[in-house]
């Protein structure tokens, strides 16, 4: 059984820093589980590692790798922000990578993606249902959220309520899962039963979690957001808006649509900062809610704890 390490937790807690240290110590490579860091051009506002794409020759083959502190980072900075990338896409791409990496370290705060990979969640296999989407598109955000809450309370507790596209997709998946359960059909796109899938793609997983009290997380988010502004978040948002449009920018969410409002002079700078920090903070709380369900997580306080657990795990 292949061994993987998963480093998770809410945003602004230092997951990447820990992942890089462990990767250097134990010769690992990082698979990013961040649903926004996958996009090119979303760097500052996603706290993407400040790495660079470099061409390396490995076993006679030329490979282009995203390197940060000389550690390869996968599933990051590779996709146009105009395109979508699902939990299923992430799981499929990660599984291929894991087969070729000595020690994969899956790192990020997108719990839905991590579950799709580690727990063989078949949710992402749901094909688009255009008739259902048309019906759902006519509903308000409140109505969509209410419907999702009835169908899948766990997903509802972590989803961004203002993102209509994600709400519709989540309902679409939940409806399909319910249909499968009611019909007694346990087959998905692989042609295998859910049990068989779990048996064929299984990992021995060490979960390492990083967390802080809510007040500390909010302070860290505020401090980091002010740094983002100094690094050029406004210019990044302006460029991104031109590239993808306001509708897509809202779907991407978090601080970007709020900063866009500031650039249009609809809100003041203090309002922009307060609303952006609050938006990211509420996202962090949703992340914490999601991870609470996983009782296998080792919540660590120091790097030494993480190193000790990793050594024991790899024996």
- Give binding residues for ATP as ranges: 9-16
Are 297 and 291 spatial neighbours (Cβ–Cβ below 8 Å)?
A: yes
- Binding site for substrate: residue ranges? 11-16
CB 108 within 8 A of CB 8: yes
Instruction: Name the strands in the sheet holding 71-74, side by side, starting at the edge strand that comes first in the sequence.
Output: 52-58, 61-68, 71-74, 29-32, 104-108, 2-8, 203-209, 298-299
Binding site residue list: 9-16
> Are residues 142 and 44 in contact, defined by beta-carbon separation less than 8 angstroms?
no
DSSP letters spanning 157-215: TTS-TT-HHHHHHHHHHHHHHHHHHHHT--B-TTSSBHHHHHHHS-EEEEEEE----HH
Phi-psi sector, 12: left (phi>0), alpha (psi -120 to 50), beta: left
């Amino acid at each position: 059984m292949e061994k993987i390490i998963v480093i998770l937790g809410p945003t602004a807690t230092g997951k990447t820093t820990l992942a890089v240290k462990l990767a250097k110590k134990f010769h690992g490579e990082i698979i990013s589980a961040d649903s926004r860091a996958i996009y090119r051009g979303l760097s500052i506002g996603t706290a993407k590692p400040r790495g660079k794409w470099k061409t390396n020759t490995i076993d006679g083959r030329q490979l282009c790798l995203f390197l940060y502190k000389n550690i390869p980072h996968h599933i990051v900075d590779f996709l146009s922000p105009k395109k979508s990338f699902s939990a299923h896409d992430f799981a499929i791409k990660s599984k291929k990578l894991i087969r070729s990496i000595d020690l994969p370290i899956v790192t990020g705060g997108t719990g839905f993606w991590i579950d799709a990979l580690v727990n063989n969640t078949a949710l992402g296999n749901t094909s688009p249902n255009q008739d259902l989407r048309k019906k759902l598109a006519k509903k308000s955000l409140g109505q969509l959220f209410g419907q999702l809450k009835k169908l899948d309370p766990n997903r509802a507790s972590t989803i961004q309520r203002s993102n209509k596209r994600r709400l519709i997709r989540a309902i679409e998946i939940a409806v399909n899962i319910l249909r499968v359960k009611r019909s007694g059909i346990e087959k998905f796109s692989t042609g295998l039963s859910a049990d068989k899938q779990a048996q064929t793609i299984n990992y021995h997983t060490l979960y390492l979690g990083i967390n802080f009290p809510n007040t500390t997380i909010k302070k860290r988010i505020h401090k980091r957001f002010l740094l983002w502004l100094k690094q050029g978040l406004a210019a990044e948002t302006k460029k991104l808006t031109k590239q993808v449009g306001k509708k897509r920018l809202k779907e991407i969410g978090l601080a970007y649509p709020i900063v866009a409002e500031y650039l249009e002079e609809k809100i003041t700078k203090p309002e922009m900062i307060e609303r952006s920090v609050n938006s990211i903070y509420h996202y962090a709380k949703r992340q914490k809610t999601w991870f609470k369900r996983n009782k296998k997580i080792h919540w660590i306080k120091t790097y030494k704890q993480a190193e000790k657990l990793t050594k024991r795990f790899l024996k």
